A and B are shown apart, each in its own frame.
Chain A
């Protein structure tokens, strides 16, 4: 059978494959664990079950119970022991099962994880990654749909990133694990199992703490991260049908912010709409707006606008479609900006 054999040859030679974000994260974690025996995965249900979202699927089977730890149900314990393991020289990757469950660990994150390097004048490194599935849109009960990234971006000593697509997920988790600083790694849970994308793993990744222009445009700029990237790309596609040419920037890094691509974009378009699921007051979008008005004051044709969640607790799920920014709310803001 000649034809199938040729098919296989073609497949093997090609570096591209189809990946979901969940699979990308899983493969990235596996690669990191293979590369460094000091990398540990720890969290609730991450072992036999493979995590409630199956991100750690199969890892315990292949790396054993001392490298993939099903932990007791205590988030402060997960992070607090990870700090101790890092002092010992390990590189723990903690999974917090849901965004709204990270708060028992907040003390250890803010008081120890974030400050130990500073306190010890650099003698104690804290290469700990805390993975947090975040954001809404999955019809969940309370505490399962939150966007707490600003708390962490506001904390000195932490780095905060968010992936938005399968290829970034694969690379960014590995880069975060290699980082000698603590990284809070936000994963947009509603994008975990979206349609797989064709990706080429042979292309070297861009640096972790850098933003990326995903779509060039000239009418206005959309800046976003995590779950809102898909929403903004869809909005740009829709706007193009009306002759509006939107530029879309995926921040990827929330601390440190890499805003040079945003400044360059705003100097070109004169208009910026910052999009995030998180509540608005004192949020990352507020920081972006401030920095853009400082750096691009004379380039702005309209005030920086924001499309965000509201300053409320996350609502019951029957109301989340109203709470979450969607394509229409983004386009509405674009219209307001263009009409200014």
Chain B
């Protein structure tokens, strides 16, 4: 499914067409440019030792912005760990992502306020969690018409081999859970190609579970937006679940710790560069005369400003206090852990005393 070719030509589809205004398309363009810009800054910050690791989304901007902008305020999103673009659409500040990769926290945003759950690193776990959440939406009677709620869960091609993803599909099917399974097939699970995960195209697996599966051009923001909206509407009106396979490409490494030159050819990368998700929108905006140079300059300036703020925030992030190790492990009081914390803090305090004592000439 495609609505905007890599050459920037608008094409139409009988089932999934979309009405888009100039302003809306400029908005999607802006989203993608800004997200790509701070993503690149994340890579740079890791290379400069400011982050322990960064997980780049380069190349997947259209898949994530299309899906993210299809979600309404009522819907809930369950990400994996590369969904910086979806986070952006849900109003999570890019700087809120930094702690995970700098090692100061495991995610600081409020998952209820943003309707965007915390990143999940164990591959596929979130698919079951999202399915359970969606079951709850149905049990509460929040499904059935256009005002209904839906859930969207994000995972990759590698995750489709996980039992949790299979179980999530089984459960969603038998409980009619309003959940959209949004698989970003970026062709590579670190070094393993999609052929190592499946004999047939991933979207076709939906047929075995008894619900629709659709492959969409994941580098086409209009197509992913249209298909995601349709799938979410199916869910909120009680016709879920739906599987979407967003066919895209991981243009950078799996993470900053990875070296893709060991397992894939430069030719492949070059071929996908021609399908860039942002460039085709830029071309279309120009062709349609929906944007002038001033607009592109403005977005460029805004993205540089965003990246500068991102960097500034990152390098000034304080380390958390040692007591954080022990906080919020439990909701209620836990005497054994409290004793362990007190013992450790006393131990640390002992160094402070020794240091003070040395300065005072005592001990």
6 intermolecular pairs with C-beta atoms under 8 Å apart: A74-B167, A84-B128, A119-B106, A120-B328, A157-B329, A181-B330
- Please tell me which one of the listed residues B111, B133, B330 contacts residue A117 in the complex, with CB atoms under 8 A apart: B330
0 or 1 for each of A84-110: is its CB under 8 Å from B? (1 = yes)? 111111100000000000001001100
Q: What chain B residues lie within 8 Å of A66 (beta carbons)?
A: 139
> Contacts A72-B167, A81-B131, A257-B336; is A118 near B136 (CB within 8 Å)?
no
Q: In residues 322-362 of chain B, which contact A (Cβ within 8 Å)? A: 327-332, 334-337
Q: In residues 98-145 of chain B, which contact A (Cβ within 8 Å)? A: 105-108, 110-112, 117-118, 120, 122, 125, 127-137, 139-140
A77 in contact with B136 (CB, 8 Å): no
Kindly state whether residue A302 has any CB partner on chain B within 8 Å. no
- Please tell me which one of the listed residues B174, B331, B334 contacts residue A125 in the complex, with CB atoms under 8 A apart: B331
0 or 1 for each of B131-163: is its CB under 8 Å from A? (1 = yes)? 111111101100000000000000000000001
> Contacts A81-B135, A120-B111, A181-B331; is A87 near B117 (CB within 8 Å)?
yes
Kindly state whether residue B6 has any CB partner on chain A within 8 Å. no
Kindly state whether residue B42 has any CB partner on chain A within 8 Å. no
Q: What chain A residues lie within 8 Å of B130 (beta carbons)?
A: 84
Kindly state whether residue B230 has any CB partner on chain A within 8 Å. no
A179 in contact with B332 (CB, 8 Å): yes
- Give the number of residues in B that approach A within 8 Å (Cβ atoms): 43
Smallest beta-carbon distance B161→chain A, Å: 14
A84 in contact with B167 (CB, 8 Å): no
Smallest beta-carbon distance B261→chain A, Å: 32
Q: What chain B residues lie within 8 Å of A72 (beta carbons)?
A: 167, 170-171, 174
A76 in contact with B329 (CB, 8 Å): no
What residues of chain B have their CB less than 8 Å away from a CB belonging to chain A? Answer: 78, 105-108, 110-112, 117-118, 120, 122, 125, 127-137, 139-140, 163-164, 167-168, 170-171, 174, 327-332, 334-337
- Please tell me which one of the listed residues A88, A108, A121, A258 contacts residue B164 in the complex, with CB atoms under 8 A apart: A108
Q: What chain A residues lie within 8 Å of B128 (beta carbons)?
A: 76-77, 79-81, 83-84, 108
Smallest beta-carbon distance A221→chain B, Å: 20
Kindly state whether residue A4 has any CB partner on chain B within 8 Å. no
- Please tell me which one of the listed residues B132, B168, B330 contacts residue A82 in the complex, with CB atoms under 8 A apart: B132
Complexed CA–CA distance, A117 and B130 (Å): 17
> Contacts A84-B128, A123-B110, A179-B332; is A77 near B171 (CB within 8 Å)?
yes
- Please tell me which one of the listed residues B117, B131, B335, B336 contacts residue A80 in the complex, with CB atoms under 8 A apart: B131
Complexed CA–CA distance, A127 and B111 (Å): 17
Kindly state whether residue A122 has any CB partner on chain B within 8 Å. yes
Q: What chain B residues lie within 8 Å of A71 (beta carbons)?
A: 171
> Contacts A87-B133, A88-B132; is A80 near B125 (CB within 8 Å)?
yes
Smallest beta-carbon distance B140→chain A, Å: 8
B107 in contact with A119 (CB, 8 Å): yes
A180 in contact with B332 (CB, 8 Å): yes
Q: What chain B residues lie within 8 Å of A118 (beta carbons)?
A: 106, 328-329
- Give the number of residues in A that approach B within 8 Å (Cβ atoms): 45
A80 in contact with B132 (CB, 8 Å): yes
Q: In residues 32-60 of chain A, which contact B (Cβ within 8 Å)? A: none
Smallest beta-carbon distance B57→chain A, Å: 21
> Contacts A83-B132, A84-B135, A88-B132; is A104 near B330 (CB within 8 Å)?
no
Smallest beta-carbon distance A82→chain B, Å: 6
Smallest CB-CB A-B distances: 9 pairs: A84-B132, A80-B128, A81-B132, A88-B136, A180-B331, A77-B167, A84-B133, A84-B129, A122-B328
A123 in contact with B331 (CB, 8 Å): no
Kindly state whether residue A112 has any CB partner on chain B within 8 Å. yes
A80 in contact with B167 (CB, 8 Å): yes
Q: What chain B residues lie within 8 Å of A117 (beta carbons)?
A: 328-331
> Contacts A157-B330, A181-B331; is A87 near B129 (CB within 8 Å)?
yes
Complexed CA–CA distance, A81 and B133 (Å): 7
B329 in contact with A88 (CB, 8 Å): no
Residue of B nearest to A70 (CB): B174
Complexed CA–CA distance, A255 and B108 (Å): 28
- Please tell me which one of the listed residues B108, B118, B120, B163 contacts residue A104 in the complex, with CB atoms under 8 A apart: B163
Complexed CA–CA distance, A112 and B168 (Å): 15
- Given contacts A72-B171, A156-B329, 5 further A-B pairs with CB under 8 A are A81-B129, A81-B135, A87-B133, A119-B106, A123-B112
Kindly state whether residue A205 has any CB partner on chain B within 8 Å. no
Q: What chain A residues lie within 8 Å of B111 (beta carbons)?
A: 87, 120, 123-124
Complexed CA–CA distance, A255 and B332 (Å): 13
Smallest beta-carbon distance A45→chain B, Å: 15
- Please tell me which one of the listed residues A77, A86, A159, A257 contacts residue B330 in the complex, with CB atoms under 8 A apart: A159
B110 in contact with A112 (CB, 8 Å): no
Q: What chain A residues lie within 8 Å of B78 (beta carbons)?
A: 84
- Please tell me which one of the listed residues A81, A108, A112, A157 contacts residue B171 in the complex, with CB atoms under 8 A apart: A81
Q: Which of A118, A127, A159, A179 has the most CB of B within 10 A?
A: A118
Smallest beta-carbon distance B363→chain A, Å: 28
Q: In residues 237-261 of chain A, which contact B (Cβ within 8 Å)? A: 255-258
Q: What chain B residues lie within 8 Å of A90 (beta carbons)?
A: 136, 139
